[in-house]
Amino acid sequence: MNKYESIIIVNPEVNEEGLKSLEEKFTGLINENGKVESVESMGKRKLAYPIKKFNEATYILFNFEANPASIAELERVYRITDEILKHIVVKK
């Protein structure tokens, strides 16, 4: 198992309940084939450039351990989730 860090940039119009459900969804997905070490909601921040006509967005940081094969599935789910504007997964 490798250690990873993932940041997702979420649409700023998503409310607190929506953010909690996204956090739980991805924590559950990661825990299927790994272990979440920490989840940090970094709050709303100004974007460096507009993404889908938004100038600010909410950032969520995940630190976790997982099998390399499960990262492709995680990124696939990130891509098909409408609330996520951008995402990145980096091996530590």
The model's pLDDT over 3-33, given as tens digits with 9 standing for 90+, comes to: 999 999 999 999 999 999 999 999 999 999 8
46 CB contacts (<8 Å, ≥6 apart)? Answer: 55, 56
CATH number where 18 lies: 3.30.70.60
- Please give the residue range of the domain that contains residue 37: 2-91
Is residue 52 within 8 A of residue 66, CB to CB? The reply is: no
pLDDT at 33: 87
Q: 81: which DSSP letter?
A: -
Q: Which of 41, 34, 18 is nearest to 66 (CA)?
A: 34
- Is the pLDDT at 75 greater than 90, yes or no? yes
Quick one: which H or E segment has residue 78? helix 68-80
Quote the CA–CA distance of 18 and 33 in Å, as a whole number: 24
The model's pLDDT over 81-92, given as tens digits with 9 standing for 90+, comes to: 999 999 999 999
**Domains: count for the chain:** 1
Question: For 39-43, what is the mean pLDDT?
Answer: 92
Quote the CA–CA distance of 73 and 71 in Å, as a whole number: 5
- Is the pLDDT at 79 greater than 90, yes or no? yes
Residues paired with 69 in a beta bridge: none
pLDDT at 1: 87
Percentage, residues of the chain above pLDDT 90: 89
